Structure 1
């Protein structure tokens, strides 16, 4: 076991481990650490704790110091400089007539480098732009092309749920999301309904996946035949996963009726779920193809281009 603290360098950014040394560091404190990008200012996201050594990237770098009042002032000054750098870079992009969208500008704490994050449909030859920017800022310049998920993580926004986007508010790393998760939760496979602001499958599909898998295991599938405690037998018409209720088509006095039961009131042998692809309309098949395309793009965007600090 090894003692560490977790540090973030941006809102909802990846958490990196550092050696707290002998400093009295608490959650919410600001620290100065050395990273692959240089000296950085970060926020401590938890009290010191002991973890398994195989979870740590060796060698574990130490905290240089707890941020002083002067460090805090410098960080605030850097934030203002980033706004100015963003405006200047926008002007230079326009001057060079480049097909790229500038997303963010970021100074390292020691001002050793300025990073500009951008999106573009293809590869961009920005060599002349870099030279132009270097002549203005007199420091190292890095232009980094990012994907739409990183763009959304940086800019933030409000989801269809009415809450701040998960990726911008609390998700440290992107989670793999698949069409299977939407099917497990019996959601519409309409791309517009299960895609996020970034245009990819919504990250929140992952949040309840485990719960739905657990609850679905207790339920029969639509089309299964069941026997109820009242002696009636019939075919499952629909299920309510969260309430654990099942609607069954039963025959009473030679007439078909729909009765609703708690799952505990039913006896059944669960069959494999039928493949809905066999009964899809042309429009539904088109939507599924769009989702499969999104799922493929999802895998390509799986690794964030923002996470390279340590």
Structure 2
């Protein structure tokens, strides 16, 4: 394997932010362990699963198209886009495979250097850009790491540009993968593009037991799937009484302690007893009480 063999490209756009195009097309391109990105092209024959070479701020990368091609005019905002440089050639595909093996060697070099320098950081991943101008190392660390000496050692050993990127716990789970509590592969490792903000209020909104350990994922953060049905639960809860609301039922005063919007069951409790009542019946009692008060 020739470690010095590189794919050259002389048409790279030096604008790191991309350009705003008024003609052509755009497609969504998958990046591992990251959300998809839009790229511009004039080739209207590109299809889903086509391997392409794209220009990013990191350099040249081999990636996969994951959406149908669309006219640039249909893009809602004037978004700067980077270009798709070409369909992947046989040479591109072969070099990408070689880069995987080179990255494994680079990983070992970096790991040994970290150990030699006594740095408190955990190396997770190494990856070469397609053109081999840069190798990117991903790591996690509890505290800030001074890796200036590490950069010097890696640059001397690997003879290319070095990027050391610290990632958070959610990105770490996306990178490593695993199985969720549902028994399926982690959403972040399979299809999630971006991480949404997740709050404990979403669990409350869905009447889930507030057991933080059970509601936390591999990353230690609240599980992303709390977001999936939150809007539907919010819609279903419109007009429902709040937890703690008191009603008179069978000549006794009860407090509403839980509502299951899916089954339509409401749990009523007081000091002496508790019972389950249908949501429809509770709403009728509340409406009747309000009607009597209006009179």
Evaluate the alpha carbon distance shift between residue 234 and residue 130 of structure 1 in structure 2; reply closer, same or farther with a 3 A threshold. Answer: same
Tell me the equivalent position of 2:68: 47
Tell me the equivalent position of 1:162: 183
Provide, for residues 133-170 of structure 1, a one-character-per-residue CA deviation record: whole Å limited to 9, x for no partner. 11111100111111111111111111122111111111
Tell me the equivalent position of 1:10: 32
Q: Residues 226 and 266 of structure 1 are in contact (CA less than 8 Å); yes or no, is this contact kept in structure 2?
A: no
Give the C-alpha shift of residue 214 in structure 1.
1.3
Q: Residues 121 and 139 of structure 2 are in contact (CA less than 8 Å); yes or no, is this contact kept in structure 1?
A: yes
Provide, for residues 213-257 of structure 1, a one-character-per-residue CA deviation record: whole Å limited to 9, x for no partner. 1122243233334588xx98863353212222224469xxxx977
Task: Trace 1:79-98 onto structure 2 (pairs within 5 A).
Answer: 79-98=100-119
Q: With structure 2 as the length reference, what TM-score do the two structures score?
A: 0.80
Structure 1 unaligned regions, length at least 5: 270-310
Evaluate the alpha carbon distance shift between residue 31 and residue 222 of structure 1 in structure 2; reply closer, same or farther with a 3 A threshold. Answer: same
Structure 2 unaligned regions, length at least 5: 1-21, 288-295
Q: Residues 21 and 62 of structure 1 are in contact (CA less than 8 Å); yes or no, is this contact kept in structure 2?
A: no
Tell me the equivalent position of 1:132: 153
Query: How far apart are the structure 2 equivalents of 1:219 and 1:266?
Result: 8
Give the C-alpha shift of residue 122 in structure 1.
1.0
Which structure's relative contact order is higher, taking Cα pairs within 8 Å and 6+ residues apart? 1
Evaluate the alpha carbon distance shift between residue 85 and residue 256 of structure 1 in structure 2; reply closer, same or farther with a 3 A threshold. Answer: closer
The match for 2:41 among 15, 20, 24 is 20
Q: Residues 103 and 116 of structure 1 are in contact (CA less than 8 Å); yes or no, is this contact kept in structure 2?
A: yes
Evaluate the alpha carbon distance shift between residue 111 and residue 257 of structure 1 in structure 2; reply closer, same or farther with a 3 A threshold. Answer: closer
Tell me the equivalent position of 1:188: 209
Tell me the equivalent position of 1:238: 258
Give SS of 2:86's match.
strand
Give the C-alpha shift of residue 189 in structure 1.
2.3
The match for 1:76 among 90, 97, 106 is 97
Q: Residues 17 and 56 of structure 1 are in contact (CA less than 8 Å); yes or no, is this contact kept in structure 2?
A: no
Query: How far apart are the structure 2 equivalents of 1:47 and 1:114?
Result: 31
Task: Trace 1:1-310 onto structure 2 (pairs within 5 A).
Answer: 3-11=25-33, 13-50=34-71, 52-55=74-77, 57-58=79-80, 60-225=81-246, 235=254, 236-248=256-268, 258-263=275-280, 266-267=283-284, 268=286
Give the C-alpha shift of residue 180 in structure 1.
1.1
Q: With structure 1 as the length reference, what TM-score do the two structures score?
A: 0.76
Query: How far apart are the structure 2 equivalents of 1:200 and 1:117?
Result: 20
